Amino acid sequence: MVAELIKVDKTYAGEVPTRVLFEVNLTVAPGEFLAIQGTSGSGKSTLLNLLGLLDSPTGGVLRLGDRDTAGFTARQRAEYRRDYLGFIFQFHYLLPEFTVLENALMPCRLKGREAEQAARARVQALLEQVGLGERLHYRPSQLSGGQQQRVAIIRSLANDPVLVLADEPTGNLDSKTARGAYDLMRELSRTSGKSFVMVSHDERFTRMADRVVQLLDGRVQQA
């Protein structure tokens, strides 16, 4: 399995503790495109944050690959986020002073100059594959919204991750551009063999995933 959650709970501390997830069981298979759907407050973003090692479960077991993440140090969590995971957000978060190619390579910089140079040809080929070959040296301000999101999608693959986590990746796009971004993620999932977990409220796209998980009040309804 790429990822596995076993009876995972999440409670946020405070004057009145708030339990957000209740004994969630979930697996992500190699190459699977999984959609997580639910209303606002259902726990979708919390679940994605746990998978992304941006937060920790209160109870239960979270495994990435064959590793139980419970004993991870802060350094190990950062290394897993860098090497095992890719992230796509609702907003592209491209850095305006860098080019398309430089933005797409940004995760590789965390590994050092040699890693960035080693990934350069592969990332450039991916950008060319999605129609950005003639815009490698453009700045984000010179791109359309859909083109910017394509750069963000390729950026998520820069470090050759095993699992890509997408948080409402089409939520900031018009319907035509959103369909293009979704189709691109599906195609890259098929051609690269990467697993994708996408959080979305848009049924147009979630119903086309390999599998849909419904969250209701922090509980999995279908898995």
Helix extents (H) in 87-169: 100-104, 106-109, 113-129, 145-156
Q: Can you give the pTM of this predicted structure? A: 0.88
Is the separation of the CB atoms in 90 and 168 below 8 Å?
yes
The structure tokens listed for 15 are 């004057």
Whole-angstrom distance, CA of residue 102 vs CA of residue 108: 10
Question: Mean pLDDT over residues 18-36, rounded?
Answer: 93
Domain ranges of the chain: 1-84+162-170+190-223, 92-160
Q: What is the mean pLDDT of the chain?
A: 88
Mean pLDDT (whole number) for 193-215: 85
What is the pLDDT at residue 223? 52
Beta strands in 29-132 (DSSP E): 33-37, 59-64, 67-68, 85-88
End-to-end, the C-alpha distance of the chain in Å comes to 15
CB 153 within 8 A of CB 177: no
Q: Quote the pLDDT of residue 130.
A: 82
State mean pLDDT over 171-176: 70
Report which of 144, 213, 212 is spatially closest to residue 180, judged by C-alpha positions. Answer: 144
Q: 55: alpha, beta or left, given left = phi > 0 and alpha = psi -120 to 50? A: beta
CATH number of 1-84+162-170+190-223: 3.40.50.300
